[in-house]
Amino acid sequence: MKHILTLLLCNLVALGMHAQGIVGAWENTTTNNSGDQLRNVLIFTDGYYSATTFSESTGKFIKSSGGSWQLKDDTLTQHLEFDTDNPERVSTEISFKLNTDGTRMTLNDDLKLDRIDHGGPGVLQGAWLMSGRVIDGKSQIRDTSGPRKTMKILSGTRFQWIAYNTETKQFMGTGGGTYTTVDGVYTENIEFFSRDDSRVGNSLQFDYELIDGNWHHKGLSSKGDPINEIWNLRT
């Protein structure tokens, strides 16, 4: 009996480690018909993910999808909240057979991705929803339970923001790349930007602070406009 309980406990721990084992960022490169190298980046946080493809040489945005995910045994199920390539798939689920040794992930015995990070060292690792702005020193909070969302998802080293509507299946825009958090300064290094390729290569710095679990984000946008935002962690 003791042996059975020990074996069961080990199996449960292994399943938990398997699920946590994909949290972080993953990537691979493919070549399109024009010979352009395309970079495919997946970010997994606890419960949420994004998958994005962009040109490795120019940063030209190609496509993105994402939403929530769960892993049971070796089956990864994704519930789509946005999909630029196939908007009709929003609010549906897709499943993959997943295998990973911790450094490489294989989906459906075909797609192979290499790990970029394990969710560290970024203190802002997670999926966040824009929940308000500070204007003239006053916080203006908005409901994040509605269909229109602005999400920012971060692994340990990579970030992506996405604006979308789950009800209309509309996609409004996205951008992403690498980031750092040092001494209260959050820096984004832009590698793709769906609305304007000229932003690729720019670095933006913001003051950030975690207050009662909320991310307060202050600085200048990519257009040079002042912003003072509040983000809530998705659970």
pLDDT digits (tens, 9 = 90+) for 186-229: 999 999 999 998 999 999 999 999 999 999 999 998 888 899 99
Q: Cα 13–117–214 angle (5° rounding)?
A: 85
> Which helix (H) or strand (E) covers residue 5, if one does?
helix 2-20
- Of the two residues 19 and 150, the one the predictor is more confident about is 150
State pLDDT tens for residues 59-105. 999 999 999 999 999 999 999 999 999 999 999 999 999 999 999 99
State pLDDT tens for residues 135-190. 888 889 989 999 999 999 999 999 999 999 999 999 999 999 999 999 999 999 99
Cα distances (angstroms) measured from residue 198 to each of 60, 61, 187: 9, 11, 18
3-state secondary structure of 103: coil
CA 70 to chain centre: 15
| 52 within 8 A of 174, measured Cβ to Cβ | yes
**Domains of the chain as residue ranges with CATH:** 2-117 (2.40.128.300), 126-233 (2.40.128.490)
Paired tokens of 39: 């970079």
Predicted confidence at residue 8, as pLDDT, reads 35
| 36 within 8 A of 54, measured Cβ to Cβ | no
pLDDT over 90 (residue 133)? yes
| 149/146 Cα distance (integer angstroms) | 7
Strands (E), 104-168: 104-107, 111-117, 126-135, 138-141, 148-154, 158-165
46 confidence band (pLDDT: 50, 70, 90): very high
| 96 within 8 A of 134, measured Cβ to Cβ | no
> Which helix (H) or strand (E) covers residue 18, if one does?
helix 2-20
pLDDT over 90 (residue 27)? yes
Of 81, 68, 233, the C-alpha closest to 172 is 81
Query: What is the arithmetic mean of pLDDT over 96-125?
Result: 95
Predicted confidence at residue 74, as pLDDT, reads 95
